[in-house]
A = this chain, B = another copy of it.
Amino acid sequence: MAHLVQIEDPADPRLADYRDLRDVELRKNLEAEHGLFLAEGEKVVRRAVEGGFTPRSFLMAPRWLDGLADVLDRSEVPCYVLSEALAEQVTGFHVHRGALASLQRRPLPSLDEVLDGARSVLVLEDVVDHTNVGAIFRSGAALGFDAVLLAPRCADPLYRRSIKVAMGTVFKMPWTRLPDWYDALPSLSARGFTTVALTLAADSSPIDEAVAGVDKVALVLGSEGHGLSSRWEQAADRRAIIPMAEGVDSLNVAAATAVACYVTARR
């Protein structure tokens, strides 16, 4: 089982994986360079391990040890045990859910692997907010989508905040980065998917009509701020809109995704 290591010094170099969790830029660099990601909370830590990710270490306050005893039992890495006050000093925030794990990233699967057998997929262009990425994974998983594809600039699904909002569905739902931005949608069409871009474009049809009777669908979503690039908007096989009341800015991307997934799942 994981060996418990009592920590008394917040500067202990063994805690390097857990430093400054609120500093997004620092974390992005650190996690990319070391090929790691962080999971937070008993439920999410358990799902990461059950999802087949290899832990590098755990960090928790004593009162969380029991809840994760089964997970710790099956692991051989250190579990750093420290007070909640000390944990807050290291991570830079109050660790509500008490348990953290640092896990090894895996090589991303190929597009073909991710699409194998898939009938409904989500394609995110430049969704830059981790909360939105997490919410989209959660809704996609709940509403029966099979995979998620990310444009090169889309935010990281394995960032701590994405994972938390996704309730760990990022561990189960197959996903990968699209190797090429420019031809991403045509390459999906070539694989037999009808690409349906969610947009406010003038020539878009209501989402239920756009997906009616379509077999393999790739639902394409743009960035929070300005939506899809014109390249993607034009390269999509169809453009679809969620009919909305006048004078409202539109749904946010996570809400729009939930609605579009619901409608698409029932096509």
Contact = CB atoms under 8 A, between A and B. Distances in A.
Given A142-B244, A255-B255, 11 more contacts: A135-B255, A138-B251, A139-B252, A142-B245, A143-B242, A143-B244, A144-B244, A144-B245, A254-B254, A255-B257, A262-B262
Nearest to A136: B255
Contacts of A242: 143, 262
Interface of A: 135, 138-139, 141-144, 165, 167, 169, 172, 242, 244-245, 247-252, 254-259, 262-263
Q: How many copies does the complex hold?
A: 2
Nearest to A165: B252
Contacts of A251: 138-139, 142-143, 258
A169 B138 contact: no
A254 B132 CA distance: 12
A169 to B, nearest CB: 6
A32 B263 CA distance: 41
A200 to B, nearest CB: 12
B135 A248 contact: no
A128 B263 CA distance: 28
15 contacts: A138-B248, A139-B251, A139-B252, A142-B248, A142-B249, A143-B242, A143-B244, A143-B245, A144-B245, A167-B249, A172-B247, A242-B262, A259-B262, A262-B262, A262-B263
